[in-house]
């Protein structure tokens, strides 16, 4: 009879089996739910992606919660030691904890979700995915003035939510107000250029001006603030070298502002 093999507590073995069974159950449930969402023809691709991300994160939470419940009686025996260990872990895993806290802030404050267009710490794009560690963006650029997809993917840690301001572009709005900057050449007639640019803006925005005005009124009622007029208007600025810069503010659909901006520029340059 072999007597030198270490004796394993039967309760630990049972807890291990329960944990394995929980993992298998969570994986099976996640697979079935994701498959059901993928086959649902009533949902758009963006809605399917949002639901898949939510289901995956929910299953991770359920699994972690189940592990805590299963191993709770074992953890009680090491409660005193865990306090000291937790203090050391906090110091050693500060950034990791900030990422988790950032994820909690995102969920609790409903800061953003899949499909939203955001800016943070120089990163700008559409949210493709997010978890307890990081957020993935489909980059928009180049720079802050452009509205085209670059094809690159940006991943930033959730800890940035505590150290940087986040801009959510047009939250829950179909139309928004945007600016177009046009620098003038030295000696150019700025009054004539201003009139041409304003006329180009009004012509390109005329087809949806009524709907944009309705959206601004709705925003005013929902947030109890005086919403700006969507009517195109121009402000004049002076650059560092003393040249005149025309800044056109114009309304546009959230999903089509790049097209409207290019149409305004082409009409303005065509009339020069």
Residue 4 has pLDDT above 60, yes or no: no
> What's the predicted TM-score (pTM) here?
0.56
Question: For residue 215, what is the domain's CATH number?
Answer: 3.30.70.100
Closest by CA position to 33, among listed 1, 64, 63, 56: 56
Six token digits for residue 84: 């000291």
pLDDT of residue 69: 86
Is 198 within a domain?
Answer: yes
Q: CA 117 to CA 101: how far, in whole Å?
A: 22
Is 184 within a domain?
Answer: yes
Is 35 within a domain?
Answer: no
Percent of the chain with pLDDT over 90: 28
Which residues are registered as beta bridge partners of 154?
137
Number of domains present in the structure of the chain: 1
Is 152 within a domain?
Answer: no
Residue 1 has pLDDT above 50, yes or no: no
pLDDT of residue 80: 64
Is 161 within a domain?
Answer: no
Is 147 within a domain?
Answer: no
Closest by CA position to 125, among listed 116, 170, 174, 259: 116
Is 189 within a domain?
Answer: yes
Structural domain boundaries enclosing 238? 175-270
Lowest mean pLDDT among 78-87, 105-114, 173-182: 78-87
Six token digits for residue 1: 């009879």
Is 117 within a domain?
Answer: no
Burial (Cβ within 10 Å: 0-12, 13-18, ≥19) of residue 150: middle
């Amino acid at each position: 009879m072999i007597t030198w093999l270490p004796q394993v507590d039967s309760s630990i073995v049972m807890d291990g089996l329960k944990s394995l069974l929980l993992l298998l159950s969570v994986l099976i449930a996640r697979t079935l739910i994701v498959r059901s969402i993928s086959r649902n023809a009533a949902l758009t691709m963006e809605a399917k992606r949002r639901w898949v991300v939510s289901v995956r994160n929910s299953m991770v939470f359920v699994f972690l919660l189940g592990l805590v419940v299963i191993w709770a009686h074992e953890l009680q025996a090491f409660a005193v030691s865990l306090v000291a260990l937790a203090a050391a872990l906090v110091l050693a895993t500060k950034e990791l904890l900030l990422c988790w806290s950032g994820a909690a802030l995102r969920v609790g404050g409903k800061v953003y979700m899949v499909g939203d267009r955001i800016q943070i710490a120089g990163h700008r794009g559409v949210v493709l995915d997010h978890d307890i560690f990081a957020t993935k963006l489909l980059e928009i650029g180049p720079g802050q003035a452009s509205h085209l997809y670059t094809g690159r993917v940006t991943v930033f840690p959730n800890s940035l939510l505590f150290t940087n301001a986040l801009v959510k572009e047009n939250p829950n709005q179909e139309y928004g107000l945007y600016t177009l900057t046009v620098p003038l050449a030295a000696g150019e007639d700025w009054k004539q250029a201003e009139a041409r640019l304003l006329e180009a803006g009004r012509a390109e925005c005329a087809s949806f001006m009524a709907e944009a005005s309705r959206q601004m009124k709705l925003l005013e009622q929902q947030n109890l603030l005086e919403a700006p007029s969507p009517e195109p208007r121009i402000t004049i600025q002076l650059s560092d070298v003393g040249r005149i810069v025309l800044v056109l503010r114009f309304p546009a659909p959230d999903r089509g502002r790049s097209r409207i901006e290019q149409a305004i520029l082409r009409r303005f340059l065509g009339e020069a």
